Amino acid sequence: MAERPDLVLRYGTAYGGSGSRPLTANVAITGDRIAAVGDLSGVRSTKELDVSGLAVAPGFINMLSWAMEGLIEDGRSPRRAEGGRDRPEPLAPKGRG
């Protein structure tokens, strides 16, 4: 890891979205990016949280969170939520959201 992360989530139950079994892992975050996932026992951060017993899902966007205003205000988020499509599609049915 090139730079010291801003945050490390320690010992979370990590779900990767592939359908495989979750595993206990650490997640390093630098700025607004996931810097690393896995065994980060040698990595230190300015802030570390023990998330033992909690689920972590690095890279997932919870589209059921009703955070539509936040997605729209952050100019990067709608594009990510759409899966990087070339032609934007509505994030919610017309009249909803």
Quick check: 37 and 6 in contact, CB under 8 A? Answer: no
Question: How much is the pTM?
Answer: 0.62
Query: Does 60 score more than 60 pLDDT?
Result: yes
Each residue's pLDDT tens digit, 14-44:
987 777 888 999 999 999 889 999 999 999 9
At residue 67, what is the residue type?
A
Q: Where are the domains of the chain?
A: 1-56, 61-87
Alpha helices in the chain (DSSP H): 68-73, 77-81
pLDDT at 19: 77
Q: What are phi and psi of 70, to 5 degrees?
A: -65, -40
Question: Would you state the structure tokens that stand for residue 84, as one six-digit string?
Answer: 């990087």
Residue spans of alpha helices (H) in 1-52? none
The CATH homologous superfamily for domain 1-56 is Urease, subunit C, domain 1 (2.30.40.10)
Per-residue model confidence (pLDDT) at position 4? 92
Mean pLDDT (the chain) is: 75
